Chain A
Amino acid sequence: MRLKSKKAERAVVWAVWIVAIIALWELGAYTLDAVLHDPMAPAKLPYFHSVVLGLVSYAGQLFSAMLVTYSRALIGFLIGTAVGFFLAILMSLSKTMEDIAFPYLIASQMIPVLGLAPIIFTLVRDMDTSRIVIAAYITFFPVAVNTLSGLKAVDPLKKDLMYSYAAGTPTIYQKLNLPFAAPYLFAGLKIAAPLSVTASILVDMLGSSSGIGVQLMYSLYGGLKDLFWAAVVMCAFMGLISYYIVVALERIFVPWARRKEA
């Protein structure tokens, strides 16, 4: 009974928050539009309900654009994950390898990759390839660093046990190190997934023919305010959705990680 009432209370808190934010949004838009008479009001902050209406009326168009952007982000994401994962294993196997690679791994993050987008585009001269390269570049770092810290965090007593079974290195990785590092890998993927979507959207915007970024640019320059705001909301949702896809995958493949937290 008590538990139920606590749950209900939490639902009320959430509901109040959401209603308050929508109300504030509407109030802000109203102030801009009707009180301050800002001619740019619909562009600066449109009414909440008009954004929702925009989302509904452009739903089909935005949805197909979203799928295009996702599918391109996915390839880069997968390649980046594979590269990061193998780099982490290499670094965990060899101290020298770690000494060589780790400083560059950190330094690589100081190079603003997304800022590199135009340069990468001129290098590979192909939208899709540059998208893949950027998404992969963004993905590999959090994956490599998180997986490595997972592989290094394996309980030494568990390693001792494996040693006492006279297990070889491949067996130790398969049975102990990799399952142990799986939650760490997913922590990296959770960071990387929304980033790779952002990368894909950015490349859309630099001059692609389809995708959500194109919708954004098109509406921006075409003065289609409703479509623009709907596309922005869609972009935000895409980042969130990619995050929750990784969370769902984690629950399937690493069920013990959640149990431990609970």
Chain B
Amino acid sequence: MSTTEQAALHTGHTSTAAPRNEIRIEDLTVQFPDNKGGEPVVALSNVSLDIRRGEFISLVGPSGCGKTTLLRAIADLQQPTSGRIIVRGLFPREIRMQKKYGIVFQSPVLYDWRTVRRNVCMPMEIMGIPKKQRTATVTEMLELVGLYNFGTKYPHELSGGMQQRVGIARALAVKPEILLMDEPFSALDEFTKEKLQEDLLTIWEKTQKTIVFVTHSISEAVFLSDRVVVLSPHPGRLSAVVDIDLPRPRSLQTKQMPEFYEYVNKIRNSFEGV
């Protein structure tokens, strides 16, 4: 209770300084206890970061750098050991209870026993949205991800790329204000991946949501993001934040630009410096 008040106080203080702040991560440390009773594993060490409202931000780094842990901490799926996260002046838990998050994982995580339409419906059912509105939203979302004709199929009848699009439609269906994506395209083939990257940018430009995007692909991060956050492993810590000043809307042509390669190289070099 008292921590909630603190959080409110805190934002009252910072809101004047940075009005467009969406997510503020302050000195965040996450440790996992070692199963064999040894030293705890430090997944994230003293990470601080501000994420702006409506921003597309990517977290990149090799495995073990804590990028997924950071995303899960924002989503209130992981409790910090020390430090804290403030989202819109509140704790992640309160934002989660207000149902403002949409999450997409690396695997589509669909419910095998539900059709595509009813999969997209699931979070709305839980949030108690009336049926009529649910039906309309599902149609809208399936059109958005280009799966309108597949609504009555079951997950196993779809390709991997289509399944992932259902996952995205489901995350968007509840009109989340913050979209958290954990390597959503990494299990897909190159062609599907490029298509979905462009689709995601179109959706983002249309809806102006804040997107936190975890990936291990530097070029994917550069292509999509306003800013790329580079994390380095053992222990996971923040090693660089790179602003990506490429023109929008971006397309496949963007990937041919010399600036694109400069950004990719810059980020790659920041790893070698680690």
Contacts and interface: CB of A to CB of B under 8 A. Distances in A.
A179 B109 contact: no
B154 interface: yes
A167 B127 CA distance: 8
Contact of B75 (A164, A259, A260): A164
B98 to A, nearest CB: 8
Contacts of B109: 155, 157-158, 161
A173 to B, nearest CB: 12
Nearest to B109: A157
Interface stretch (B9-17, B79-87, B118-126, B204-212): B118-126
A254 B96 CA distance: 32
Interface SS of B by simple majority: loop
B126 A175 contact: yes
Nearest to A167: B126
A156 B100 CA distance: 21
B111 A176 contact: yes
A157 B122 CA distance: 15
Nearest to B170: A161
Interface in B68-97: 72, 75-77, 96-97
Contact of A164 (B101, B107, B111, B113): B101
A171 B99 CA distance: 15
B156 A260 contact: yes
Please tell me the size bucket of the interface on B.
20 to 34
A164 B173 CA distance: 14
A163 interface: yes
B125 A175 contact: yes
Interface residues of A, number: 22
B111 A179 contact: yes
A162 interface: yes
- Could you say which of B72, B113, B123, B174 has the most chain A C-beta atoms within 10 Å of its C-beta? B113
A157 B187 CA distance: 16
A67 B23 CA distance: 67
B103 A171 contact: no
Contacts of B113: 179-180, 182, 254-256
Contacts of A171: 126
B96 A157 contact: no
Interface in A221-236: none
B107 A260 contact: no
B103 A160 contact: yes
Contacts of B99: 165-166
A182 B125 CA distance: 21
B105 interface: yes
A180 B107 CA distance: 17
Interface in B100-147: 101, 103, 105, 107, 109, 111-113, 122-123, 125-127
A166 B111 contact: no
B160 to A, nearest CB: 15
Contacts of A175: 111, 122, 125-126
Contacts of A182: 113
A242 to B, nearest CB: 25
Interface string A107-127: 000000000000000000000
A2 to B, nearest CB: 24
A185 to B, nearest CB: 13
A260 to B, nearest CB: 6
Contacts of B174: 165
B154 A160 contact: no
A157 B97 contact: no
Contacts of B101: 164
Contact of B112 (A160, A166, A260): A260
A259 B156 contact: yes
Best-buried of A157, A255, A260 by chain B (most CB within 10 Å): A157
Given A164-B75, A176-B111, 10 more contacts: A157-B105, A160-B77, A163-B77, A163-B96, A164-B101, A166-B99, A175-B111, A175-B125, A179-B113, A255-B113
Interface of A: 155, 157-158, 160-167, 171, 175-176, 179-180, 182, 254-256, 259-260
18 contacts: A155-B109, A161-B103, A162-B126, A163-B76, A163-B77, A164-B75, A164-B76, A164-B96, A164-B103, A165-B123, A166-B126, A171-B126, A175-B125, A179-B111, A180-B113, A254-B113, A256-B154, A260-B112
